[in-house]
Structure 1
Amino acid sequence: MDSQIMDRLKEHGVIETEQLKSGNHVEDLPLKAINKQSSRNDLTVLNNYFFRNRNVYISKHDRFAPYPPHTHQFLEMNYMLEGSCDQLVDGKEIHLNKGDLLLLDVGCTHSISKLNENDILINLLFRDQSISINFLDDMRRSNSVLYDFLLNSASGEHNTIKYLVFSNNVDSDISVTMEQIITEYYSKLEFSDVIIENYLSILLTKLVRHYHVSTDKKSPQQRLMIQIIKDISENYKNIHLVDLAKKYGYNKNYLSNFIKKESGKSFSTIVTTQRLIKAHSLIAATTLPISDIIESVGMKNKTSFYKKYKAYYSSMPAEERK
């Protein structure tokens, strides 16, 4: 992070100066920015106040006083640039350390405990209402039959996810892009808005890359199904039901019925779907001949591949490259 920008962020703003003296929260939003239907204990912040002529809004969270419960009509990211903080998110206690990112869905209630001198929390808001945790779900689902199963399983349990925490202890991939966005925002150089929006697309894609769906609290049957689909995801080119049944010590017919019951899809359908997903990725990202791609994903019949690809993606492979 640029040292001048960091020094600027560590300076005390007007509200911070007041909060440092009193220890109490000073309202930082005008009445027009708050939904009049909101209760005092759960304020809803409206879109129009922040964005006006921009699609992304970034600010430093004011320190020295707790921030009351509130929700937004837009997706929000809280990035811990320095120090740490505690929040109550959707009724659960969340602790953020340096480099951690908290993604809050539209309508998710949260409050923030008092930040101290060396705690720098950055708020990133963007108003594209098509972007939500469901958006991340769809992106992740479209890249793997494993995530398709996990996400469908989560929704079947009525476990609606309203927030996600991306920890910095895995690697600094997300932090690098987030700090590029912050630097560009506060530098206010020419074309910064365009650059920030492109960085944001990269950031969202990285979030999808690091988005893991919890497999906790699953039944033994669900855990077995997850492992089976992991096997399919990794060995889709030449996996066979007979080998899979032998691996887990089951009769072939029993395992076939088990997969159908747990996933709602047949073994062959799941395998074909993963092959199509991989083929789609190679078609979009490489210049390999489509005939070579068909062979590389383990499909033998080209006519069958084109028919199934059309049914799954509503387009032909060659159209992806136009």
Structure 2
Amino acid sequence: MNIQTLNKHLSTLTLHEQQYREGKFYDFSKLEIVDVIENQNIYRMDVSYNLTNNMFSVKKNSRFQPVPPHVHSWVEINYMYSGSCEQMINGKSLILHTGEIILIDCETVHAIGYTGENDIMINLLIPKDYLNNTFLSRLSSDSLISRFFINAMNSKTDHNSFIVFHSSHSRRLPVFMNELLCEYYSPSMNSAEILDHLFSLVVSELVNVFGHDMSNNLDKNSSFSIIPVLKYIESNYQTSTLEKTAAFFNINPNYLTTLLKRQTGHSYKELILMSKMKAAQKLLSCTRLSVKEVALHVGYDNLTFFYRKFQEYYHCTPNEYRRKKNGE
């Protein structure tokens, strides 16, 4: 399948869509009612979608019929392939435009507005364990911004929330999503692994979108955004101090300490340590530098202190880590 055949496949009316366009709507009253909010029934839609092998399932949202408020047991990622669509989440209305994505946690009450012929939305239905265990474990040590994203997901996705990604200007996201959809609808011999990696690419790009969004949206309690600070720490971890960082951003060091702790859950020293240990881990894995040279490169003059910190962080010595990575 290529992009042209994908477009044709997604644009073609399904049997249900033909019926909905003719006014033969689905009877949601047959579903279980789990709650009533402001005189509206809340339905449970735990239907038997193909969530096999702990992976995600892909379906096209049926056009020509709105979906009433409902909940389900999986995490849902909605990707607006074309057109636009109204989403109502916990009583809040928002419009998803072409190229944008919304992540909705399991058991979150949400509804979908009417979609016309050109409004094509893709639903990724994801078992909670897959998102947490498979995906997040890959991102957990990539960067401070990845960690910040994970913390936001863990705090926001609390069975009552969602995250919108303003990804319409992303160059990579439509490429990754198109490849994922082509592979899903026309699977190759190694489809499961390819889909797994494509999904990781999709959400890795969402981390970039998330960071950009955070940089452009000021902290609610101040005129300050935390993402540039995390970028600064990652670039200057060898020699930077709290005072230097605070001076660079022209803010009080004590306030910076409070802001970092509140928004990341970590102190300035912990964030510096994370950056140093990640850099050391990469050097041990990808270069032949001695342990002493690695320690100096990441900002440690005291080799004994570096050994102790590395062992606390990775639960092994630098040499043991290198042997393990090299398969020795």
TM-score when normalising by structure 2: 0.76
Q: CA deviation at 1:64?
A: 0.8
Distance 1:168 1:133, change over 3 A: farther
| Deviations, residues 103-127 of structure 1 (Å, cap 9, x unaligned) | 2222222211111111111112233
Distance 1:43 1:132, change over 3 A: farther
Residue of structure 1 equivalent to 2:87: 87
Output the amino acid matched with 1:124: L
Distance 1:262 1:79, change over 3 A: closer
Moved more, 202-211 or 104-113: 202-211
Residue of structure 2 equivalent to 1:111: 111
Residue of structure 2 equivalent to 1:300: 301
Contact 1:146 1:233 in 2 (8 A): no
Root-mean-square deviation (CA), in Å? 3.8
Mapped to 2, the partners of 1:155 and 1:196 lie a distance apart of: 24
| Deviations, residues 72-93 of structure 1 (Å, cap 9, x unaligned) | 2112221111222111123322
Task: Say which SS state the counterpart of residue 271 (structure 1) adopts.
Answer: helix
Query: Any residues of structure 2 matched to 1:1-322 within 5 Å, and which?
Result: 2-22=3-23, 25-27=25-27, 36=32, 38-39=34-35, 41-46=41-46, 48-51=48-51, 55-127=55-127, 129-132=129-132, 136=136, 142-145=141-144, 162-212=161-211, 214=214, 216-220=218-222, 223=224, 230-241=231-242, 243-244=244-245, 247=248, 255=253, 257-258=254-255, 260-263=257-260, 267-284=268-285, 286-289=286-289, 291=291, 292-316=293-317, 317-318=321-322, 319-322=324-327
Moved more, 10-19 or 52-61: 52-61
Distance 1:293 1:91, change over 3 A: farther
| Runs of 5+ unmatched residues, structure 2 | none
Distance 1:49 1:183, change over 3 A: closer
Output the amino acid matched with 1:171: S
Q: What is the number of residues matched between the two proteins?
A: 309
Mapped to 1, the partners of 2:225 and 2:205 lie a distance apart of: 29
* Identity level (%): 25
Output the amino acid matched with 1:62: S
Mapped to 2, the partners of 1:73 and 1:238 lie a distance apart of: 47
Task: Say which SS state the counterpart of residue 201 (structure 1) adopts.
Answer: helix
| Runs of 5+ unmatched residues, structure 1 | none
Task: Say which SS state the counterpart of residue 87 (structure 1) adopts.
Answer: strand
Distance 1:86 1:190, change over 3 A: same
Q: CA deviation at 1:62?
A: 0.8
Q: CA deviation at 1:227?
A: 6.1
Mapped to 2, the partners of 1:211 and 1:133 lie a distance apart of: 20
Contact 2:97 2:168 in 1 (8 A): no
Contact 1:139 1:208 in 2 (8 A): no
Mapped to 1, the partners of 2:168 and 2:152 lie a distance apart of: 27
